[in-house]
Amino acid sequence: MFEKIAHIGVAVSDLEAAVELFTKLFNAQPQRFEEVRDQKVKTVMFEFNGAAIELLQATSPESSIAKFIEKRGTGVHHISFVVDDIEREMKRLKEIGFELVDEAPRYGAGDYIVAFLHPHSTNGVLIEISQKRAPSTGR
């Protein structure tokens, strides 16, 4: 079950410049910097009352963020929702006709596991579902 919006992901080509811009815009400092090597991205989170803006910069030309920027330019990349049971939710979504990008959850930023729904099946919007990893899971 979808519980809440976790964050909105924004693809950027220059993370330092984007952090400076969004720091001015929000009049606030980012709360978290992280590199997610599995996804080939660096992320910065600006958190607001339980939701966040996630800035994403590719660390490799093979990154999905690099490919996104090459095809569409910088801007909104995805909307992430917290779910209570990611595997059950993936199964439910697939059964009712949504196309999944991921066949199994993968590691994401902020100690979450994530999976994406293909924008072809979500009216052009890349949707991420995410679930907080159990403390004992580790990487």
Over the stretch 55-103, which tens digit does the pLDDT of each residue have?
A: 999 999 999 999 999 999 999 999 999 999 999 999 999 999 999 999 9
Q: How far apart are CA 8 and CA 79, in angstroms?
A: 5
Residue 136 has pLDDT above 60, yes or no: no
Give percent of the chain with pLDDT exceeding 70: 96
Q: Which strands form 112-117's sheet, in the order they lie side by side?
A: 32-36, 41-48, 51-58, 2-11, 75-83, 127-132, 112-117, 106-107
**Reported confidence tier of residue 139, pLDDT bands at 50, 70, 90:** very low
For residue 33, what pLDDT is reported? 96
Q: Is the pLDDT of residue 133 over 90?
A: no
Q: Give the whole-angstrom CA distance, residue 116 versus residue 90.
A: 9
**CA-based nearest residue to 12, from 71, 78, 82, 73:** 73
pLDDT at 135: 65
Under the banding of pLDDT at 50, 70 and 90, the label for residue 114 is very high
pLDDT score recorded for residue 44: 97
Record the pTM. Answer: 0.89
Task: Write down all domains in the chain, each with its CATH number in brackets.
Answer: 2-132 (3.10.180.10)
Average pLDDT over residues 115-124: 96
**Amino acid 46: pLDDT:** 97
pLDDT of the residue at 91? 97
